[in-house]
Every structure is written in C-alpha cells, then in structure tokens.
Structure 1
C-alpha cells in the first residue's frame, strides 16, 4: 500500500465541474454507445455537481428547471404502471411496450429529481409500485422492463429495492423470494455474481449487500455472521497495492470499483479495513488533466467514473488525516452508501417521494 505520509494531489474540482456540465450539454461522439442510457448519464452528471456541493452555485435556475422538465418528459404510463424511460429516442407511440418505463432509469430519475429538489407532485406512486411489481420474475429476480423484458440480474433487483424503500412501500413485491435470489448469487469466495453460478464481481457484490440491507426485516437474518465475514474478506483482498480496487480476482484496479468495493465495506461496517489514504491517492491519480476521472491513471474520463470516484472519496475522506484533507481539498458532505447519493439528497427524497399521509 502507498505510504500514508505521501501527500495527496489536489482535487481538481473546477475541472470536474466543467467536464460534467459539458456532458450535460452535449455528449462527445466517443460516447455514442451510452446514448441508450441517457437518464443514467444525467444522474452521473448532476450527481457529481451535487457531491461537489456546487449544483446551485455553478448552474442556473433556468438550467435546473430545464433538466427537471427533461426528466419528467421521460415519465410514461401504460398497462404496467408508470415509470421513467431511458430517453426520448424510444418509440413515439405512448402505447408501445418499447416506450415503457425501465427500472434502472426510474431509480436514477427519482434520485436526479431529488438532487434538483423537485417536489414530486407529478409522481403517481401506485403506478410506480405497479410497474415495479410487473418487473419481478418467478425466481424472485427483476427484469429491467415489465413482463420479463430486457435484462434480468442484480442491477434491476437493487433498483427495485431502492424504489420501494424511497416510496416506503414494499407491498408490491415478494421480498422473501427476492432476497432468496440474492443469496443464490453468492459465490464460494464471498462475493456475488450477476446471476447464480456467475463469477463474483465488485459491482454485483455491492448491489447484493446493499439490497439485503435495504430489505425490511424477515424471518431470518439477511446475512449470517459467517457470510458477512466471507464477503468482507473477499472485498478487502480486492484492494490493490496501488490503493485501487479490482472488480474481479486477479484483474487490474479500476476507479469505479473503488466505489463498489468501498461502499460494500461501508455498509457492512468494515470501513476500517480499507486503506483510505492509498484509496484516495489512486482516485486522485485517475483525474484527467482537463477534467473528469477515468477508470485508471492516464485513461480518458467519462461521467460514470467521475461520479463513482467522487462518491467513493466522499465516503472515505472523513477517514483521512485532517491535514491531508485540507491540503488536497478532499472534503465532502456526508454520503449515503445504500442509495448512492449525498446525505442531503437522500433526506429530501425520503421526505418527498413517499405517499403523503393526511
């Protein structure tokens, strides 16, 4: 591990702000492959501004209003309920199944609106719950779209659990079948694969552990002490000598896995087992000279790695020595690792998204 006495490079906050603001205005041609996930890109960009504490100071009211309007334009209704689609490129027919909501994009849209301090007066809560219900499969897993449409893996299950948690209503899904499915994705190493019998990965391990922690109490513990210890062991040993985290055993470290691995350890209460100084040094080295953060030192940046890297540091900056934080400006407001957003945004979401009770 890197020596904790080594100084931290400064956080290039202004350059990162410029990077995500540019992506909000126009994605470069090199990112055409992510156009089908436009709602998620909006989440990463607005989320980066939120984490840096500049969403209101570095953007105009006009911009924030236009972003809210664009997100609500993706809110669609149909026979399977209501939710958010990935973007406007879908079918123009409101009755087309291809124009229907997507569970991951619904999760990112709700949090993006919370970052923008929307009042959620347009949200049809029963319709969202109906949509989430339509995505659950017989084995307890969730598909990205209703009635088994799209992918079916732990990403969708985690997003379904987040949506139910934000709404404060778990009645539309079978939680026990879902948590049993999560358990079936656990591997002998202690990590979790995307599906049963798949190799353990850092991202899906986070999704599994966060989902189990979000779930309401059941008849049995969601994680036994032995299962938790095995997961902690696997996660800790995926921190590379550089301070970064590997996504899979034997792979090179990647900045996004600093979030997935670091957040999973945070949820498990094992954050002390991570070398926070080396962790932050690795992310600092992934900063691109002209703004944004890439997956590894010297790699080009993108909104995905920028947001997850900032979120990773937000969790672990309090564990740095005060002098190191001040020198490099590596200081952030509290972060919620379960829902993957700043503490203030999660508080806003939890107070405005649930059905109002009179």
Structure 2
C-alpha cells in the first residue's frame, strides 16, 4: 500500500446539540487545538469550513489564526523523531525526577512503559543495564507471591503483569544461562497460589487482597499464567461467563456486572458503560481462553458484531485527527491508539473464526479501522511539533495541551505499530515450528511430531485434569500466543519509511520475538 496519506478535505466540527456541558466545552477546545496542527498539512481554504461562528459580512479572509494556509506540507514527509523519543525515555530510565516521588508505588509500571517504549523504538539496553533493571524488578517480588509496585508494596496483579512483561523484554536475546538465572528467581508456585487466592466464585479476580474487581485483573492473570505456563483450569473457571456478563447495550464491555449471577441462566447486569481499555482487556482474555480444554463453556457468547459496531464508533472524526477515544461522547486520547485500536485484530480473528464456513480459503475481512488516520493522529498530534516536522521535545502525549509522559509514550507507540502492521491469526501455522520429540523426527517433522508437544518446563496441571488435557491446553495457549502473523502485503507506513516500528503483538503489547523467547523457555520449545 502507498505510504502517502491524505487527510480528508472537510474538517467539519463534531455535531453539537446546543446543550453546553464540561465535556462539550472541552471537545470544542480540543478540536480548535488539533485544527491548528492539521491546517499546515491541509492547505488554504479549510478554516472557513470549521469555524462555529462565521461572520458572513466579514470580508477579512486573511485571518488565519497565525497559520500560513498557503504553506502545505505533504503527508509523506511526516517523521517519527526517534532520537527525541529515545532521549526523553532514557532520561527516566534509572533516575526519576523528584516530582514523580508520588509514583513510587508505580515503579513496576514505569519500568514497563519506559523499557517497553525503548523496545518499540528498536533500542536494546546494554547487558549491564539489563542486569541492573532485572535486579530492580526482582526486588519488587513478595515472599507471599506476586510483585508489588515497588519494594515492600502489597502484591498487585497489574504490577505483577508489568514486572513479568518487563522481565520478558530484558531477557530476550540473552544467553540461555542468563535467561535461566533470571526466570529461576521468579517464584512460580508462590505466584500461582497467590493468584488463585484472588479468584472469586463468579470467575473474576480481585487486583489485590480486598481490591477492586474488573477486566484488568482477569487479563493480568491470563497474561502471567500464559507467559509462565501456570494457567490451570482452576484459574480459568467461570471466567468466560464473567466476561460475557459485562457486555452492555452498546455492544462493548463494561468493567464488571453490577450484581453477581444468582442463577446459572442469568448473565448479570453490566455496571457502568462500555470502555475501550476494559473491553480490550476483556476481549483479549476471552480470545485466549475460548475453547480451551478443561474449562467451562459459557451459554452466553459475546455478541461480536455488536462489539464491532461499538468499537468502530470509537475512532474519532477528522476534526479530532482520526485518533481513538475510550467511551462514547468522550474526547480523543492518544493512549487509546492501543486500548481501542487493539480491539480490531482480536475481533477480526474471532469473527473470522465464527464465519469460517462462509469464507473461501484465503479470504479475509477488510481492515476494520482506519489505520491511515490513526497514524496521522499519532505523528501529527501525539508528537509535540514546535512547527511542522520540527520535533525537539520527545515523548508522546494524550492531545494538545497535555504534556508527554511515559504512559502515553508506551501506548501511543504500540498503537502506531499496530496500525502499520496488519495481524492475521493462524494458529495452525505455528504447529510446524514445534521441536521434534526424538532424533528420528528431527530431519522431517511428521504429523505426529507436530502434534505431540510432550515436553514442557514444570507445567502446572489442574487438580482433576488429565495429562492429555493439560498438554492440549498448553499447546493451544502456545499456539494462540504465537499464531499471529503479519501480512507483509498490507503493511502501511505513513510518512517516511523510517517511521516503521517492529510489529507489536495484538494481545500482549510486546514485540513478537520477545514473546517467543519467553514462551520457548517456559514451554521448552
């Protein structure tokens, strides 16, 4: 596909019903700020189309708000200023500014966002830096199981997910000895027992002891359990039903149901409203555990078409730059480049599987969101332009008026990669990569070898799970994680070719090679 983008010609304002609220005032302000960044790339004549209060008697056509509308910059010259972003991220790597002392209990997340963002940009830390970072992360581990947000803090599922993901980044590409030394310091049995203690009867999880309950916790358990090969039927039990009970009238997923299900035939009542981040976590969890052996099967399947309709509405109008928002009637936000954008490859995989009988061999669904528009939002709006293509301040931001931060840097960059590379799910293709189980099969992978998967690293089995079911579950988790393929012919990079990032996994925002290294270790493949 061509890498030359084209912003739409008519930057019409969001329809306004005349009822002023804090949100509508903020929306109009955001549109005005975004417009000033779009106009230099649009050419003359656009401002008159977007002004709310045009004075038809005003003959002054030269009032351009300080923007030279005659100067048009072609979209194919847009740059991702890697050096500025790397410089910004490295400034936080081992010494945080004093203003961030209030985030001491979020050091696990800060490590993940900083090191993960550098990974997206193709920056590998030195061996000494990796060892120092690994020691820091391990110091967050508690003897009772799991990791806190920092040393001495209560174990938390979100923080534990961040720590395990960061260790995956740091160990990728190291020698076998260093990989083993690092992962052997993680207490997998303590981790498993702690996660199981957070399990609730309706299938959900608390994020920590006596903590809140929502899709973040479920997603963290699935991610940690998959990475470390400790995801048993006990952890998954009733989780599909919990996820299904949170789908609301909009089609998306709310944080949780209002009431626990009192009867098996009643799915519960969703609490709150559909939310991009909760839906992303919930849908990814649903994808990973759907059809696993030894798990419960829900009578209440998700309405995927309703979820797709809702998700499509999260991509904003051209006047908002084409980025994503997280909820209906809310403002665009750069972080939803990932949270909302990641819904689409998962929906693509689930809907394609559901419609497999109606699709001919090799047929696939069209793009489900505007990948070009999302990249334009990221490169034009989330980056801080002092003037067109002059980007001295590194880091990514929510929107104009907001400062860059490491949280938005991580999720904006992962969203940029997601929009550049289309992912298609094909778990059968991963079978051919399985390690042969004996010497006679090394020369040629027979069907028996491809389907054996009889080797593993201290896999955790469920209490009543047969070895056969356990091995099949392990095989499917491995395949579901590594079965995503990048469609090279559908690569789309807006701006300079150097803007391309490495493909990011659509379920777990890490580079594919990092996930493969981690799973190959714990699944002994």
Bucket of the pairwise TM-score, normalised by the shorter protein: 0.7 to 0.9
Q: Hey, what does 1:310 align to over in structure 2?
A: 413
Q: Hey, what does 2:521 align to over in structure 1?
A: 352
State TM-score, norm by structure 1: 0.87
- Inter-partner Cα distance in structure 1 for 2:88 and 2:341: 24
Tell whether the 8 Å contact from 1:179 to 1:222 is kept in structure 2 after alignment: no
> Which one of the candidate residues 217, 221, 230 is aligned to 1:156?
217
Q: Does 1:42 find its partner at 2:111?
A: yes
Q: Hey, what does 1:236 align to over in structure 2?
A: 312
Greater fraction of residues in helix: 1
- Inter-partner Cα distance in structure 1 for 2:324 and 2:495: 24
Tell whether the 8 Å contact from 1:64 to 1:116 is kept in structure 2 after alignment: yes
Tell whether the 8 Å contact from 1:243 to 1:281 is kept in structure 2 after alignment: yes
Cα gap change, 1:152/1:23 in structure 2, threshold over 3 Å: closer, same or farther?
A: same
Deviates more, 1:210-219 or 1:178-187: 210-219
Shift of 1:51: 1.0
Shift of 1:334: 2.1
Q: Secondary structure at the match of 2:303?
A: helix
Tell whether the 8 Å contact from 2:113 to 2:406 is kept in structure 1 after alignment: yes
Tell whether the 8 Å contact from 1:8 to 1:328 is kept in structure 2 after alignment: no
Cα gap change, 1:46/1:68 in structure 2, threshold over 3 Å: closer, same or farther?
A: same
Cα gap change, 1:174/1:109 in structure 2, threshold over 3 Å: closer, same or farther?
A: closer
Cα gap change, 1:33/1:254 in structure 2, threshold over 3 Å: closer, same or farther?
A: farther
Q: Which runs of 5+ in 2 are unaligned?
A: 1-5, 10-73, 172-178, 258-270, 349-364, 385-390, 423-488
- Inter-partner Cα distance in structure 2 for 1:122 and 1:104: 19
Q: Hey, what does 2:122 align to over in structure 1?
A: 53
Per-residue displacement from partner, 1:296-335 (whole Å, max 9, x unpaired)? 1342111110010111111111369878556152212221
Q: Does 1:329 find its partner at 2:498?
A: yes
Q: Does 1:287 find its partner at 2:287?
A: no
Length, aligned pairs only: 338
- Inter-partner Cα distance in structure 2 for 1:212 and 1:304: 25
Tell whether the 8 Å contact from 1:161 to 1:214 is kept in structure 2 after alignment: yes
Q: CA RMSD in A?
A: 2.5
Tell whether the 8 Å contact from 1:262 to 1:271 is kept in structure 2 after alignment: no
Greater fraction of residues in strand: 1
Q: Hey, what does 1:300 align to over in structure 2?
A: 403
Q: Hey, what does 1:203 align to over in structure 2?
A: 277
Tell whether the 8 Å contact from 1:111 to 1:345 is kept in structure 2 after alignment: no
Q: Hey, what does 2:371 align to over in structure 1?
A: 276
Q: Hey, what does 2:444 align to over in structure 1?
A: none
Q: Hey, what does 1:111 align to over in structure 2?
A: 165
Shift of 1:249: 0.3
Cα gap change, 1:312/1:74 in structure 2, threshold over 3 Å: closer, same or farther?
A: same
Q: Which runs of 5+ in 1 are unaligned?
A: 91-98
- Inter-partner Cα distance in structure 2 for 1:3 and 1:347: 40
- Inter-partner Cα distance in structure 2 for 1:85 and 1:28: 21
